[in-house]
Amino acid sequence: MKNRSVLISGAGIGGPTLAYWLHRYGFDVTVVEWAPAPRTGGHAVDIRGTARDVAARTGIVPAVRAAHTGARGMAFVDQDNRRVATLGTDVFGDSGGPVAELAILRTDLARILHEATRDGVEYLFGDSIVTAEQDDTGVDVRFESGTSRRFDLLVGADGVRSTVRRLAFGPDERYLRDLGCYVSLYSTTTTLAHDGWQLMYTMPAGDGRPGRTAGIYPRTEPGTGLAGFFLRSAPLRYDRRDVDEQKRIVTRAFAGDGWEIPQLLSTIGDASDFYFDRVQQVQVDGWSRGRTVLLGDAGYCASPLSGIGTSLALVGAYVLAGELAAAEGDHTRAYPSYAHQMRPFVDRAQEFARRSGDNGLMPDTRAQLRMRNLTVRVLPYLPRALVGRGMERVAGTVELQDYAALAHR
Ligand SMILES: Cc1cc2nc3c(=O)[nH]c(=O)nc-3n(C[C@H](O)[C@H](O)[C@H](O)COP(=O)(O)OP(=O)(O)OC[C@H]3O[C@@H](n4cnc5c(N)ncnc54)[C@H](O)[C@@H]3O)c2cc1C
């Protein structure tokens, strides 16, 4: 086989899924992840459409079901916490709704995938690539830890701000498309998150303030939840490493608002898993440069608000590994086949994410907010043929090939 050794940057979702399959096809796989260990907590993600088949073939569905978030649906509430419109997970089939039937914390999924691969795959936690130079026969990589190694192939599965993409394709600005808002998430204490309903409180723009939503995501652990804040805004200038400054931005943006917001904000100072980022899409024309290729959010993030990113990463990993195995490691054949199979899925997902925008979370007017709530209320009464089909069609774009005969482990 050509090109047996593969370095994957990123142990999120796409990286370990690719590692699982490449290992089964007989490749030597190393995964480098800059977090010191698999993380805990964080947001929930969805496994939809074809990605359900990938999860099944990877043998992780029982573990995914066991770690289910317990999510039963999303409820839009008023400031007295009365539910004004609800969307149960059962309304849209297994894959079509805002919360899919297979919903799991991103970190739980990453942990399950790590556990499925740690025998046979080399993991380097707490490290990162700093330089990658490729020539005709391989890629020389230098790590932050000071070591240098040579690999046959390099995969960037390191998220929206991929280091591999920056090194091999150029600066982020060329590839990030702005979607006009910020999202913030952090673990909090709350008594409202125990029954599996995700609660969302939306305020329309007015009095010089933009449209915005605060939310509480359920957790199985009693007394805890995940606080979410969504804010329409022009790009803000702030130090990406200064978490306290980012906490102040969120606190200022929601200061004086009602519902549970004062309680949620009162815990922001203690949040150790605080997340704040601009909502962006990653648009890259060709996902490979020589021996280097991009996977998942690094190459084609649709939007963190779209609910399809995890499925893109899972399907992308399965297809990339299968094509590398089918081409016996010849990346000049495998990378174009991977792109050929994934491009329609990525284009549809990104178009869907742009079209659905912020999903009514940041309305400009009170009328828009009323219309959103009305729409949500009638959805359960519409014929199933009309509801959730957009997302289902997107999530089912790829017809998975069967590479099973190529696996020898
Ligand atoms: C706030 C938020 C909410 C979301 N909600 C949903 C949802 O409801 N449903 C859904 O399906 N998807 C959701 N997503 C998207 C989903 O999390 C991603 O699409 C999915 O995780 C992509 O997987 P990935 O493996 O490509 O990247 P990631 O999961 O982002 O993994 C990238 C990994 O690379 C590591 N890394 C980064 N840089 C380096 C480096 N230089 N060296 C080594 N390692 C590095 C990171 O630590 C991380 O572990 C959400 C995303 C966010 C941010």
What is the pLDDT confidence band of residue 387, given thresholds at 50, 70 and 90? confident
Q: How far is ligand 1, taken at its centre, from the CA of residue 90, in Å?
A: 26
Residue 394 has pLDDT above 80, yes or no: yes
Residue 388 has pLDDT above 80, yes or no: no
Nearest CA to ligand 1 atom 39: 158
Residues 286-296: tens digit of each pLDDT: 999 999 999 99
Mutate to test the pocket of ligand 1, among 158, 273, 301 (most ligand atoms within 8 A of CB): 158
In short, whether 106's Cβ falls inside 6 Å of ligand 1 is: yes
Mutation to probe ligand 1, out of 297, 311, 314, 352 (largest number of atoms < 8 A from CB):
297
pLDDT digits (tens, 9 = 90+) for 52-62: 999 999 999 99
Whole-number pLDDT of residue 39: 80
Q: Which segment of 12-16, 36-40, 145-149, 172-176 scores lowest on mean pLDDT?
A: 36-40
What is the CA(177)–ligand 1 centre distance, in A?
17
What is residue 1's predicted lDDT score, i.e. its pLDDT? 86
Of 43, 52, 303, which is best to mutate to test ligand 1, by the most ligand atoms within 8 angstroms of its C-beta?
A: 43
Which residue lies with its CA nearest to atom 2 of ligand 1?
304
Taking the CA of residue 14 as reference, the ligand 1 atom at the shortest distance is 25
Give me the domains of the chain, ranges plus CATH numbers. 5-70+107-175+282-358+390-406 (3.50.50.60)
Q: Kindly state the greatest CA–CA separation across the chain.
A: 65
For residues 345 and 348, give the distance between their C-alpha atoms in angstroms, rounded to a whole number: 5
Give the residue from 227, 223, 233 showing the smallest Cα distance to 185. 227
362 Cβ inside 6 Å of ligand 1: no
Q: Cα separations (Å) of 60 from 30, 117, 267, 405? A: 21, 11, 35, 20
Give the whole-number percent of the chain exceeding pLDDT 90. 82
pLDDT at position 317: 98
For the CA of 311, the closest atom of ligand 1 is 11
In ligand 1, the atom with minimum distance to the C-alpha of 298 is 26
Other beta carbons within 10 Å of 223: 11
Supply the pLDDT for residue 358: 76
- Can you give the pLDDT at residue 65? 94
- Ligand 1 atom having least distance to the Cα of 48: 11
Residue with tokens 């939306």: 202
Closest-CA residue to 137 (of 114, 153, 117, 161): 153
pLDDT range class, residue 101, cuts 50, 70, 90? confident
CB atoms closer than 10 angstroms to residue 175:
24
